[in-house]
Structure 1
């Protein structure tokens, strides 16, 4: 089922897509016309714009706007406020439009309002398109290009989304967008791990698991990255930390994936994420931790097998993080969050 709030699901006519307008939601709600930032007004007016941007191309009812922005708060003149905010936004978007003429960008449709923009005119639309492109590249057997595409998309998300606006609908959307971003962070980390970036990933995954201690996928990625760096003992210690967080705080035990990674590490299997059938069919693993290093850390005897090398073990470029406070600080990595 598609998300009706996703800009990628809207396809308004290209005739109503002025190329001189662009907007941001993945941080503060901001807008530009002809490269000049627009004064979007008071927080409620920005909130109304944010709802319209999230529903770009689709009519949004006036009552839906009032409920989504004010919620249960008593507002006697909500309809007039919405109309006033829309009027001010129209003047910002189309200053040359003649008075009392229909808006081309922000139009009234019966008792609703519709903002018509191309997906690429909003940073959320561009992000979603980049994620779709990366997944297509990965399916096509181009993991390097997919990893670079996801990295570039994540670097353009300063976060947290919808900063400076509030309301019941926007609070729900803020949670949805945070989940979307974190899922893409995990996807990017998995790709980077496949390409031999385990050494660079470890510190960033330590940060992420501290910020999201119940996110089992992050723990699994951290364990795999440590294991691929010949740090079997540290990988198993990470599993114990994950198990403790889940059991003590939620009363839960680790799920099948996390337990499977632990079992693979204990068995010293080459790929902790591979399924049993995949392992049986694999003629030769592409990599494995250095047996000498594993034995040195665990006290176990060194098995009689050759040392294997990583596939795609080139350096992983990490651009500087935006200077933002709180858990969205990336600690100088494109992967944090």
Structure 2
């Protein structure tokens, strides 16, 4: 099985393409179980997630019905029985290594960092690209923001770290020309992330585009001043001075 939660919830079996779970409440329940994969999720938390305000008296029975629907959906995709188990007042979903895209993302980032540590830069690029390629949207976007925010914040930070490490290792490999378009797009989308500007200046300068690099510094200066009310930090200023001195 494959469970995709880095975006809207999708399932797929060995011989099936992505399948969306319908209707809304079973879909939300599965997303909640996957948010807490391998851990017990109480009926109380399920009820608070599925219903706004006080849940109906029929909530425990409704939850059992939704779980049965999910089990049938999983079985139709060729999954083995016992994926979702229950005990008094709680449910749990089990996932094997490689089945949940969140875990695959974290593992690919870890492998990329290990490869960098071994100076296997080409291998690191592949792992970081594989990790970032799993993202299709907001993590666990089928769940209320208040519920998913802590996990989402951690995953987003790891995603940014993977992006920056991928760019860094591509610069180490001398891919200065090919990384510039990606950096242009990222600095437009995220104009106050100073490290992106540092990468862009380096890539442009190492590509022999000194004038473009100096222009990029001015763009960074304006973006940081208007977006955050600050001037460029020490690293960005140092790069700028190096480029001014490089005649």
TM category (shorter chain) comes to 0.7 to 0.9
SS at match of 1:27: coil
Per-residue deviation at 1:69? 5.3
1:51 pairs with 2:9? no
Deviations 1:261-294 (A, max 9, x none): 32333344xxxxxxxxxxxxxxxxxxxxxxxxxx
1:33 corresponds to: 13
User: Which residue of 251, 262, 267 corresponds with 2:229?
Assistant: 251
User: Which residue of 232, 236, 249 corresponds with 2:214?
Assistant: 236
SS at match of 1:119: coil
Distance 1:45 1:239 in 2: 50
1:139 pairs with 2:117? yes
Answer with 171-180 or 240-249: which moved more.
171-180
Q: Is the 8 A contact 1:38 1:92 kept in 2?
A: no
User: What TM-score comes out, normalization by structure 2 length?
Assistant: 0.84
CA gap of 1:255–1:61, structure 2 versus 1, over 3 A, is farther
Any unmatched runs of 5+ in structure 1? 1-20, 96-102, 269-294, 296-337
Distance 2:133 2:9 in 1: 17
Q: Is the 8 A contact 2:35 2:140 kept in 1?
A: no
1:316 corresponds to: none
Per-residue deviation at 1:199? 0.4
1:60 corresponds to: 41
SS at match of 1:120: coil
Deviations 1:96-128 (A, max 9, x none): xxxxxxx72111244322111113011222121
Any unmatched runs of 5+ in structure 2? none
Equivalent positions of 1:96-245 (< 5 A) are 104-163=82-141, 165-167=142-144, 168-170=146-148, 173-245=151-223
Q: Is the 8 A contact 1:69 1:166 kept in 2?
A: no
User: What TM-score comes out, normalization by structure 1 length?
Assistant: 0.63
1:22 pairs with 2:32? no
Q: Is the 8 A contact 2:121 2:169 kept in 1?
A: yes
- Aligned-CA RMSD value: 2.5
**By percentage of residues, which structure has more helix?**
2
Per-residue deviation at 1:143? 0.9
Per-residue deviation at 1:234? 1.9
The ranges of structure 1 where at least 4 consecutive aligned residues each deviate by more than 6 angstroms after the TM superposition are none
Per-residue deviation at 1:182? 2.8
Q: Is the 8 A contact 2:192 2:227 kept in 1?
A: no
CA gap of 1:80–1:242, structure 2 versus 1, over 3 A, is farther
CA gap of 1:82–1:219, structure 2 versus 1, over 3 A, is farther
Deviations 1:220-258 (A, max 9, x none): 111111111122232222222222222223222323332
Deviations 1:163-208 (A, max 9, x none): 5x13121355445434432321111111111101110111111110
